[in-house]
Structure 1
């Protein structure tokens, strides 16, 4: 097989405890009027205030927009754009969880190119560079600081929608694990499970037919040698740190490894893409109003089981990255052990076992299956082809907690 790899990454990626102190100099290099996109809780945090003071010390004017709302409704995007436009922002900084960083991406896009978010839904719809973006995550989860996609909730659509373009990649990402120390166990669990799902789906996603234009034909190009490297790296770090960080938020080593793994997972799926677990979470999340990370994590063991016969070698490799003892096992047994280990890890940090536990009712299953099939940018990445019938079976298994029925 011809070796092929590509990465879509920020120009600068800085990782390490205390590295938020590098933020002011990066901002000063890019602009003199900085719009900071965050949420209400962070806007009143003393560590956040210290970062803002550091930026102002270099003579950069700052406008804080604290109106980001979880799951990112379109209304808060419009408010952020209005704030940035009246201020005359020439650089945008997202500080917070994935919603804050995604909001910063879309606000920078609309400040540059105008229109409304719906004008850019899909892939390659952004016509050119956006205002310089800096991303500073405060959770170990979405990996949005290193990805070319932003996902928002549109009131005119039943499910969340994505804007995917290399132009949405931040110029600079600063990943400081100290900013995650205050994350409560529930947020640590949900965001960390989201990150592990990103890595698992990126590593097992479909490998596309190689063309000389593949990077221009797809934002997410499918499985490749470079995304595989980051995916396995992420799986290893997250699997060894997630439970420890959940149990003890003061465990500095676990916090560092978890954030490093989450960022690596972002590098993996930001190039390769995600698949069925994310496609199903969109309608599940819309129906139940549960956190994105919880929804994708619930689905992941079922999706792995569904895909097992089409990605057996990859799942066997996942067992190794998870640190499982698999000597003497067949490839299929190693794949099965990996699926069991992922399910057990998620259970140990309080992730529900079924989509019924999330609040999906039996009569909603046809809606979930139909709307999940509408997420074509995700469905096309799944290693096992999906149609409405097979999607219906997958969703039913996740509702009833029956992984065994998915074994092909």
Structure 2
């Protein structure tokens, strides 16, 4: 199985300055646009024609708001859904597309491979460079009945078209650029270091298939784009080359982890983010220098080469400092007595931990957390 691999990609992926101009060419029939509310009035919306606009996208995506939006979409019966915005808007559009096609509530589909068939086609235009949601088979919601966010994963959730235009990221706030960009680098690192799963080709495959010969070069190229250019994009937000490089790196990282999955940084971030109310990318980026030393040194070294160094951990810590990611969990308000609870909650992220390349015991998680607390 050393050379096994699976890629699930959108039928169309367009990248480059001006790529958004493809949008009118792709639209037909009844169009529903799911748009971040802060984009109302943005010139990109002029490309939508007479589409119906849904801009009630709530941060963290409470599941109740999506059930309601999905019901309205089913009544409207769109032929295509356009998603424009950050990761929340893109995830919302994917789940509204699901509920416009299949019966709710959304909780029926929590987990993997539970979506029964195709959904309304989604055309995704990200305005941030980091989540990779425009090319991935997963969307994440918050459910008041659960302590942590919950994912819905299915190949049917991969958008039909991804249009990545770096121009749309030019207005992103500095912290959004930093935290979403470092999350993209974590996606690349965790994809490249994922566990090799023993796949049964005669059965339905898991959505995330672990170490992947087809995704590996994508993860390394993502690192090569993100490593040198993310600090530039944060320091000089108007630098078009930096925005292009970071957007390209984010897209490639999304293509990589959308097939392999992510692991320890993400499993630990979910309880940390819930506890501290800090951005997702801040948490994953903070944790990465404390996770990598536990992994296969050859894989970590090869990832470092993609970053242009023989010290991947040191380089990532340097990038974090340059873009304003805190160095320790204590910097974001985590206390030592909270670490056992964080570890216990992370142990519940079975999908993520299954991809971890080491045995993710409670002791291992506590070791990562303890070192991250000290900084």
TM-score normalised by length of structure 1: 0.89
Which of 253, 256, 271 is the equivalent residue of 2:259?
A: 271
Shift of 1:217: 2.7
Q: Match for residue 275 of structure 2?
A: 287
Residue 356 (str. 1) matches residue 356 (str. 2): no
Q: Match for residue 251 of structure 1?
A: 239
Which of 280, 296, 300 is the equivalent residue of 1:315?
A: 300
| 1:68-119 CA-partner distances (Å, limit 9, x unpaired) | 1222222331342243234332221111011100000111111111111211
CA-atom RMSD in angstroms: 1.4
Contact 2:271–2:342 (CA<8 Å) still a contact in 1?
yes
Residue 49 (str. 1) matches residue 37 (str. 2): no
Shift of 1:51: 2.2
Q: Match for residue 329 of structure 1?
A: none
Q: Match for residue 405 of structure 1?
A: none
Distance in 2 of aligned mates of 1:83 and 1:211:
40
Residue 171 (str. 1) matches residue 167 (str. 2): no
Residue 143 (str. 1) matches residue 140 (str. 2): no
Which segment drifts farther, 101-110 or 88-97? Answer: 88-97
Which of 143, 147, 150 is the equivalent residue of 1:158?
A: 147
Unaligned runs of 5+ in 2: none
Distance in 2 of aligned mates of 1:213 and 1:316:
35
Residue 198 (str. 1) matches residue 187 (str. 2): yes
Distance in 2 of aligned mates of 1:316 and 1:19:
35
After the TM superposition, which segments of 4 or more aligned residues of structure 1 sit over 6 Å from their partners?
none
Distance in 1 of aligned mates of 2:86 and 2:274:
19
Q: Match for residue 91 of structure 1?
A: 80
Provide the aligned length of Structure 1 versus Structure 2.
Answer: 375
Q: Match for residue 340 of structure 2?
A: 366
Q: List aligned pairs for 1:293-304, cutoff 5 A.
A: 293-304=281-292
Contact 1:283–1:368 (CA<8 Å) still a contact in 2?
yes
Which segment drifts farther, 340-349 or 35-44? Answer: 35-44
- SS of the residue corresponding to residue 217 of structure 1 reads coil
Contact 1:6–1:224 (CA<8 Å) still a contact in 2?
yes
| 1:41-84 CA-partner distances (Å, limit 9, x unpaired) | 01232x233222xxx2xxxx411111112222223313422432
| 1:281-304 CA-partner distances (Å, limit 9, x unpaired) | 111111111111111111111111
Q: Match for residue 60 of structure 2?
A: 71
Shift of 1:20: 0.4
Distance in 2 of aligned mates of 1:231 and 1:75:
35
Distance in 2 of aligned mates of 1:347 and 1:316:
21
Q: List aligned pairs for 1:107-122, cutoff 5 A.
A: 107-122=96-111
Which segment drifts farther, 339-348 or 86-95? Answer: 86-95
- SS of the residue corresponding to residue 64 of structure 1 reads strand
Shift of 1:364: 1.9
Distance in 2 of aligned mates of 1:302 and 1:207:
21
Q: Match for residue 9 of structure 1?
A: 9
| 1:308-331 CA-partner distances (Å, limit 9, x unpaired) | xxx11111111110012xxxxxxx
Q: Describe the shift of the 1:213–1:232 C-alpha distance in structure 2 as closer, same or farther (beyond 3 A).
A: farther
Q: List aligned pairs for 1:122-133, cutoff 5 A.
A: 122-133=111-122
Shift of 1:159: 0.4
| 1:107-159 CA-partner distances (Å, limit 9, x unpaired) | 11111111112110111010100111111101111000000000111111000
TM-score normalised by length of structure 2: 0.97
Shift of 1:207: 0.9
Distance in 2 of aligned mates of 1:364 and 1:251:
41
Distance in 2 of aligned mates of 1:399 and 1:85:
47
Contact 1:285–1:292 (CA<8 Å) still a contact in 2?
yes
Shift of 1:356: 2.1
Higher normalized helix content (fraction of residues): 1
Shift of 1:369: 0.4
